[in-house]
Amino acid sequence: MSNENSEPKPWLNISDLRDPFNDAVNYKSRQEKDFFNRIFVRTEDLTDCLKPSVYYLIGEKGSGKTAYATYLENNDVQGTKCKISTMTETQYKRFIALKKRGKLEYSDYANIWRPMLLNMVAQILVQKSKGYLASFTGKFNAIEAEIETFNKDSLNPEVEVAFEMVSELTGTVELSNENVGKIGMEDKTTSTDKTEQIKHHLLEKEIRLKQAIADLRLNNTHILFVDGIDYRPEGISYSDYLNCVKGLGEAVWQLNTEFFNNVRDSKGRIKIVLLVRPDVFHSLNLYNANSRVRDNSVLLDWTTTEGAMRDSRLYEAAGKYFSSHQSFPVSDVEAANHYFSSNESDTIFRRLLRASFQKPRDLLTFIKIAKTVSTKRLARGKEDKFRSDIVKNSDFTKEYAGYLLGEVLDYAAFYMNQDDFFLFIKFFQYLDGKPEFNYPDFVKAFEKFKNWINGENVKATEYLRDPQALLQFFYDVNIIGYSEILGTSHAQFVHFSYRERTLTNIAPKIKTNGLLLINPGISKALDIGMQVITEEIGTSSTAEVRRKRRGKPRNNNQQKGTVANGKIAVKSPMASPPKRTGPNKINRSRPAKKTTPKTGN
């Protein structure tokens, strides 16, 4: 220890740290792979993903699902060859148009998905093992020729080719990017015959692909990771999209359990893994879902407690990022201790735990924003560690709150469009500036909010059914949590859905008998209005009230208030939202109360 103190290590300056990407898909390029490999934390979950029985990689948004699949695609782990394919907005629209064109029932979604997924798997076998498979003349040529026939130069060719194959099978429907959803009308008398013909062609193609794949002899296991099902494009209704991904979930299960598991005489195995959020998996309502989530899933969980934070995987991930930049060997924990000034206090990392959703993306964004503020606004770029006061800097807290609100917006996009989301978060203006409140307070605010929003054009009306429905939504997206006082020691336990979610409790419910609270990390991005202090001034003059206020030194948490109806209203220090521009701009004024003009009889 003394030697370490006498010889300071040449830590890299803050300004020289490399900005990490928020989305792991950016690490697929050749020049980025090396940096990604150096900062990636290999956990037991990584090898668990390779187990033959795992078909679902489940995790909150930003928990590392795409990062795990990308790492496995970039590297040889246990001799497994992997590929990640991301579904896009255009592809979902084309898929739903295919379904509508054939006038197929919901149950037929899986029938369309199966040949598409088989086609994608066939392409991966060619891409990853063509050198080995080339010796099997006549057994793989049919699939390879089909792929080449429909091959396109696109960002995601394996999915595009699969769509082309199904388009050819289902007829002459126009499905260009400019004409998504244009459907050719058939004579009603031939509708049933046409539908049966489509089903027949799809089944025929599925049988041919299965036969060709079953005839292969693979030395290595191949895994197709399917990403992008958590994002619902605004042009697709919730019900249509949900049915679409339900069919995908069933198709993956059927192919894995009924086909790939039964392929014989092949050393290497094949499987498909869905990357999915816990709430989306729950929404799919798959048959025997409880057993599937227990037996066939890996859940990525990075949560920790303040007492165990230095031993957590999240702290290790921070250290991995910092240590990867150094020119000398250093442990991950020592690197994190240094840059977070943890040897002086745990202020920085403790603030991260309290003000985030405890995911790797939250951590990396936390570091990126702290670096930007320290370098460009505080002139600390030449320093080799973050000062603990960075977490109290107004620029930092404002920008980080904006990031968290953006994460919530993306999370909620599965359930509602962006316009609805920004209407719903206006609810917090009716809490009178309270960052903590009880359920009766929430109910009162709900009634006021509902009176206002009833005059707006809202599509996601299911969350206006009652106060419990809206409260559960805010809990699901981690805006609101609750605290409980337990035990003889009266210890306070804070609960947010991301902390409570487990494989045995995939959809946790909020409790209303505890103290409700707004996530402190995101509160600055919400306009929670004016905080009303219950202080009757009946016998005291306004001047006396002001003199009392002057008697206390004013700091950043004390702001000038107004007197009305015998109470003082003070702007909550947590209520100042960041300025937002563009489509995400938030109107800070309380929505005007709508009135109906009186008419004569």
In a domain, 345, yes or no: yes
Q: Looking at residues 55-63, what average pLDDT do you find?
A: 94
Residue 370 resides in a domain: yes
Structure tokens at 60: 């909150």
Question: Both tokens of residue 587?
Answer: 């109107």
Q: What percent of the chain has pLDDT over 70?
A: 74
Do 312 and 282 belong together in one domain? no
Domain for residue 198, yes or no? Answer: yes
Across residues 418-426, what is the average pLDDT? 94
pLDDT score at 556 = 45
Q: Quick check: helix, strand or coil at residue 293?
A: helix
Statement to judge: residues 364 and 223 lie in one domain: no
pLDDT band with cut points at 50, 70 and 90 for residue 171: low
Whether residue 207 is contained in a domain is answered as: yes
Is 326 a residue whose pLDDT tops 60? yes
In a domain, residue 47? The reply is no
Question: Is 580 a member of any domain?
Answer: no
Q: What order of strands is seen across the sheet that includes strand 81-86?
A: 81-86, 222-227, 270-276, 56-59, 297-300
Give the whole-angstrom CA distance, residue 89 versus residue 94. 9
What Rg, from alpha-carbon coordinates, does the chain have? Answer: 28
Cα separation of the two ends of the chain: 90
Q: Backbone dihedral region of 272: left (phi > 0), alpha (psi from -120 to 50 degrees) or beta?
A: beta
Angle, CA of 94, 116 and 258, to the nearest 5°:
140
Q: Tell me, what's the pLDDT at 555?
A: 47
Residues 129 and 214 in one domain: yes
Asked which of 231, 260, 295 is the last residue of a domain, the reply is: 295
**Same domain for 124 and 229?**
yes
Mean pLDDT for 505-532 is: 85
Q: Report pLDDT for 599.
A: 47
Same domain, 187 and 281: yes
Q: Is the pLDDT of residue 320 over 90?
A: yes
What's the confidence (pLDDT) of residue 562? 44
Instruction: Give 372's pLDDT tier (boundaries 50, 70, 90).
Output: very high
pLDDT in the model for residue 367: 97
Which of the pair, 485 or 99, is modelled with greater confidence? 485
Q: What is the pLDDT of residue 144?
A: 73
CB 298 within 8 A of CB 49: yes
In the prediction, which pLDDT does 536 show?
46
Please tell me the total count of domains within the chain.
Answer: 2
User: Which pLDDT band holds residue 170 (cuts at 50, 70, 90)?
Assistant: low
Query: Which carries the bigger pLDDT value, residue 282 or residue 531?
Result: 282
Domain extent at residue 333: 2-20+303-392
Last residue of a domain, one of 373, 392, 411: 392
Confidence check: pLDDT of 496 > 80? yes
Question: Which strands form 436-437's sheet, in the order they lie side by side?
Answer: 436-437, 515-518, 480-486, 491-495
Is there a single domain that holds both residue 111 and residue 213? Answer: yes
DSSP 376-425: IIS--TT-SS--GGGGG-HHHHHHHHHHHHHHHHHHHTTTS-HHHHHHHG
pTM: 0.81
Q: Are residues 268 and 338 in the same domain?
A: no
Render pLDDT for 184-222 as a digit per residue (tens, 0 to 9): 434 444 555 556 666 777 788 888 888 888 888 888 999
- Mean pLDDT across 524-534: 67
106 — pLDDT class (breaks 50, 70, 90): low
Do both 257 and 148 map to the same domain? yes
Domain boundary among 367, 392, 417: 392
Residues 275 and 364 in one domain: no
pLDDT band at residue 529 under the 50/70/90 scheme: low
Distance between CA atoms of residues 38 and 458, nearest Å: 46
Residue 152: inside a domain: yes
pLDDT at 459 > cutoff 70:
yes
Instruction: Identify whether residues 135 and 276 lie together within a single domain.
Output: yes
User: Does residue 135 sit in the same domain as residue 282?
Assistant: yes
Single-letter amino acid code for the residue at 287: Y
pLDDT of residue 68: 96
Residue 548 confidence class, pLDDT cut points 50, 70, 90: very low
Tell me the C-alpha distance between 572 and 99, whole Å: 52
Question: What average pLDDT score do residues 392-416 get?
Answer: 94
**437 assigned to some structural domain:** no
| Nearest to 518, CA basis, from 574, 474, 479, 485 | 479
Who wins on pLDDT, 14 or 27? Answer: 14
Q: Does residue 152 share a domain with residue 9?
A: no
Amino acid identity for residue 39 in this structure: I
Q: What does the alpha-carbon distance between residue 244 and residue 49 come to, in Å, rounded to a whole number?
A: 25
Looking at residue 381, its pLDDT comes to 95
- Position 533 scores a pLDDT of 55
